[in-house]
Amino acid sequence: PVSGVTLTAQPPTGQVAEGDWLVLLCSVATGTGPLSFSWHRQGSPAPLATGPRYELRPAQQRDSGHYHCTATNGDSAANSSSLGVTVLGERDPRTW
């Protein structure tokens, strides 16, 4: 069975300025067979994407929310814990 599904973010806080990139990564501690991944956001019934990596680029304020990934090998599936993503207001161009 699939277990130990972990979601990590770059940057690790899950907080970025609007217009920046946020990368979410899904990994599995144990599981046999070919693995597939799907990405989900709280309140959205359909998967957002598939694959072990999900990128918000450029991140928009509407992307804020709680995300998790699901890993499956066809026989079993497991979810990661939820990660809160916060997209802050537009970055001040003077700080670029």
Per-domain residue ranges of the chain: 3-88
What gap in Å lies between CA 14 and CA 54, rounded to an integer?
13
The domain made up of 3-88 has a fold known as: Immunoglobulin-like (2.60.40)
Q: Which residues pair with 50 in a beta bridge?
A: 38
Q: pLDDT, tens digit, for every residue of 7-39?
A: 999 999 999 999 999 999 999 999 888 999 999
pLDDT digits (tens, 9 = 90+) for 54-93: 999 999 999 999 999 999 999 999 999 999 999 998 666 6
- Rounded-to-integer distance, Cα 15 and Cα 27, Å: 20
Q: Position 36: which residue type? A: S
Cα 38 to chain center, whole Å? 9
pTM of the model: 0.89
